[in-house]
Amino acid sequence: DLELNQDEYILDDLIGLNVVENGESLGKVEEIVYNGINILLSVVGEKSFYIPKSGNFIKKVDLEKGIIETEGAKGLILWK
């Protein structure tokens, strides 16, 4: 069995988690996408968008609460 530290997780564990920024739900992770350069979290909510796994968008992953806390990810949503 693979043992993970408290702040580690398997990417597939992120599927279904609620993405929250400043207390506001932005949607849920629908799938993990690899575009050849980055790993992206595909988030489906009022608008669908992608959050790169790299960078500083993901602040905290809480598997027990089922949430991913983000910072600046709301700016990735393309509002049309």
Longest Cα–Cα distance of the chain, Å, equals 46
pLDDT at 71: 96
Q: What is the pLDDT of residues 21-50, one digit of tens each?
A: 999 999 999 999 998 889 999 999 999 999
Q: Tokens 């089922």 appear where? A: 66
Q: How far does CA 2 lie from the centroid of its chain?
A: 22
Interval 1-28: pLDDT, tens: 566 565 667 889 999 999 999 999 999 9
Nearest to 77 by CA among 35, 26, 31: 26
DSSP 45: S
Rounded Cα distance between 54 and 40, Å, is: 8
